[in-house]
Structures are given as structure tokens and as C-alpha cells.
A = this chain, B = another copy of it.
């Protein structure tokens, strides 16, 4: 049997250099299939077929590639096989149970499950029973968690309770994802390999998430709105963090952006601009925006720590405002960099009546200085942004990273269908002018038409019948429509079809319709050159490439008006949920993002 030790296996270290120097996977790749399978044993519970199917991806290009190959084997298996894999897992127990594999036993013990109180143990048993009765398989959770430190019994119970409400198909996929995460942590154990920088960056997110606005922090929720005390505390923390990382210059600019510059080897060289935002939505997640600040900060720290200078300068901007939560000026801070800051925004008031001008004065910011922070494109190579995906695509594909091809163009409408309210009992079906029936007929088309493009999306997020009664045929139905596509042409073709169909349905049913366009934003296709650099970095990590549009808007969308840009997406946990406390990613995926960013910046001429 081949023996692997830390030195002969690709592992993640705090030295990003280590990851793209040619790791020797020879031990594994040159071993016989039987030996390889023997080494795989225990990664996927009682399911040697997973490793068997992964052999087709040999030679493994990296540990990340191996993880993907194993997960991909499960994805390609039949539902029956997947179900067998799920059912092969033991029921989580609050005390040592018989029949556990050594790996399971160690994990359950490390997670502190065996330190459960009697009440927790009783609750776990009851929830396990409900779960098993409802879904027909055991509850599966990677008890080491996304950071690898182990979840508390309380956290595990909370997840179990929450996931009980999942529709079966979603919960099944969640179980598979947890199984892959379990395999990942077991691989770490086997290889004595740990995502050291990923862990650190994970902790930085926790550290920044200590600051939250009043009304939220009391409930353990995260909300950081523009220029609140919590927001200013974040800015100061980021400023000190950048200084500690070894940036050469750090400042807080006229709109509250925290800007750190790491000088190039030779003065006069161009800078690569990067970064993302540190404000959050109300009761949001910890990674949206912030990951794109911390990833380059970690890379710069590693450069500074080892005294390395690059051919290019690195300018990291922690943008103060992207979410448009406190004032209706989305991309406020990136607009300041592109020279599109609208001074009329200063007169906007928040819900307490505090104007942006007043809020800036209180924070010691000088609006008069805003024009001076406009960037000169000639001094930059472009803008790159790392961001948590905020969607389920990468998780569904078992891919930790995705290369963004375009930030989708969008258009939004508020729509009101007016029919004729009438008595639900006395209005025959063929004599109704039912606003909801018209809506439903059209809404089905919305879904079909968006699907047709493959990468367009259309969403009816708000919907209600004003003053609806159970016994009244609805005379009105009001709703929102949000449509996005990788190009403006594609978006407009879809919007045109969908609105045309709305008019046709309403005309056929004698309904009136009023349509108000509220938002129209142009698509921002990635710069081919910068995009190719991300592709190269991802490939060097041994990962398969996945191209995807960004459905959400990002600061890169605004910077796009000034310079080339390209984004990298990092897989989110929990089906990619975002703008929600459940938003998460793993320390391993953070490590890969850091590795990719390091490769990207070192590759500049």
C-alpha cells in the first residue's frame, strides 16, 4: 500500500507559492487502481464506488481536483446510488454508538456532540426521528463545519430543525453537499493538509462581523449601513488591518472607502485595482463584499511578509457603500471612483431624516474632496473583484471557483393588472375579468421565456391583490418584474417578448395593465484579457473551468465604465443563499480564492 505523507501530497499552506509550484501527486497518480482505492477508503461512507468512478479523472492535478473528481462521481451516479450513499451514513448520536466508522466516531466526538446536555440529547433523538420519518434517510451534517473547528451541539440542533422544513429534493442535495464536505475534512486528515490562509481569512470575516447597527446587533444579526457607527468601526478596523498586512499607503477617502496601496517593484508601474464593499444589507451575510476585500489583503500580506514586490502595484479598495440600504444611491462609493458621484445624492435623507451630507459631516468626511478621488484609468491595468457567488450554481457543479463572463444587464418594472372585481360565487367563469387569472397565465410565460435563453433570469418577487377578499374575483393584481441577461440585447429581446405577451393576455381577457419601468442597468461584459487571467489561475489550481454570468450587480459593474474588469466567484454553501445570515462558504474555498488571486497578480508581466 502506498504511504502518503505531508511532503509528497499537495497541501494548502500559508505560502501561496506552494500551491502553484508543481506539486507531486505522483504517489497517488502512479499507484495502482487498487492501491488508490485503498487509500480513498473511508472518505465516502461505505461507498467504494465513489472512488472507483473518480479514477477516470486520473491523473489528479491537485488536491482540489481530486475533491472535485470524487464529488463529480457522486453527481454522475443514479439517484438510487446517491440515496444508498446517503443512507450509508450513521444517525448523529449524542453518545458513542455502535457500528460507527472510526472517522464518523472521531468527527462526532470532535464536534462536541458527546458533550450534549441530556435535554440536547433528547432533542437530537426526537429531531432525528422526525427527520428520518419525513425524508426516509438520516440527517447528515459535516460536524466540523465550514471553518473546520467543529459545530456546537446547539448549532447542529438548529440546523437539523431548520433543514426539516426543506422540500425533499433540496434536502437531498444538501445532504450530498454535506457528504462532500465530510470527505474534504477527512482528506485533510489523511494528508495533514489544512487551508491555513483560508482559515485566517475566515476569522477576519468573523472579526469584522462584530460590528453591527443598533437594532440588529442585539439580535445577533449583521447590518452595516453607510456611515453608521458600526460602519465607521468597520472602516477603522479595515484600515488597521491593511496597515498590519503591510500595505504601503492606507487611507479612508472622501466617501468612506478604505484604500490600501502596495507599491510595485518599480515606481511608475501600473496598478491593478481590486476590492469590494464592506457595507451589508439588513440581517445580511458576513461574506457578501467582504471576501473581495480580505482575499487581496491576505495576498498582499504574504507578499509583504516575504518582502516580495511585483511588477505591478496592488490597490485594494474596501468600498463603503454598495447595497443602497440607507440611501437610494447604489454604487455610491464606486461611482466616486469613476467620477459619477451625483452631488444631489447628498440631499437624500435616510428613514430618520438624516441627510447624506449630515451623515458625512458626522463621520468626518468632506464631500468637497469627492471629485479628487476620481481615478485616472491610464494608471491602472483594470479592476478585478472576488465575490461570493450568491447563487447555487457552483455548489451544484461541485466547483469551488467560477469565472465571470459578464455582469448581467437588468431592467425592472412595477406592474398593475386591473380587472373587474365581482362576486366569487355569482360570476360565471366565462364572464370574469380576473386580474389574478390573467397574471397566472402570463407568469407561466415569463418563466418559459427566461428559461429559453439559458442564462437569462426573470423574477416576480413582489405580488399581491390589494384589499383581496376570499369571496371576490380580484379586480387588481400588483407585482414586480426583474429581468437580467448577460447582454443588453438579450435582456431587451426577453423584456420585449414578455411585455408583449402581457399586453396580449390582458387584451384577450379585457384587463387593463399599467407598467412602470423603475430600473435599467447596462450589462458589463468581462474584459477578455482579464478574464483569461482568471481562467489561467483557476486552471493552474487544477480545477475545471466554469464560466458564468453574474446575476447580481457588483462594484465591478460601475468600475466597468472606467476600465476593463473581470470577476471571480467563490462557491456559497446552503444552496448559495445570500443577503441572509445563512450565507456561507468554506475556509477551503477561501483558500482557493486566495491561491487564485496570488497566481493572477504574480502572472502580470
Contact = CB atoms under 8 A, between A and B. Distances in A.
A577 B464 CA distance: 22
Given A390-B423, A510-B169, A459 B473 contact: yes
A130 to B, nearest CB: 15
A408 B410 CA distance: 48
Contact of A552 (B423, B447, B470): B423
Interface stretch (A115-123, A211-219, A224-232, A435-443): A435-443
A553 B463 contact: no
Interface string A450-469: 11000111111111110011
Contacts of A474: 460-461, 463
Interface string A412-428: 10000011111111111
B391 A426 contact: yes
A64 to B, nearest CB: 23
A168 interface: yes
A423 B461 contact: no
Interface in A467-488: 468-474, 477, 480, 482, 484
Interface string A512-533: 1000001000000000000000
Contact of A579 (B423, B429, B480, B578): B423
A392 interface: yes
Contacts of A427: 391-392, 457, 551, 576
Interface residues of A, number: 76
Contacts of A428: 391-393, 455, 457, 551
A431 interface: yes
B469 A422 contact: no
A56 to B, nearest CB: 26
Interface string A153-197: 000000000000101111000000000000000000000000000
B443 A429 contact: no
Contacts of A168: 510
A430 interface: yes
Interface of A: 165, 167-170, 389-393, 396, 408, 410, 412, 418-431, 433-434, 436-437, 439-441, 443-444, 447, 450-451, 455-465, 468-474, 477, 480, 482, 484, 510-512, 518, 550-553, 575-580
Given A391-B422, A391-B426, 11 more contacts: A165-B512, A168-B510, A390-B426, A421-B580, A425-B550, A428-B455, A437-B447, A440-B440, A462-B468, A470-B480, A470-B518
21 contacts: A167-B418, A167-B510, A390-B426, A421-B577, A424-B551, A425-B484, A425-B553, A426-B552, A427-B576, A429-B450, A434-B459, A437-B447, A440-B444, A459-B471, A461-B465, A463-B468, A463-B477, A464-B468, A470-B480, A470-B518, A472-B579
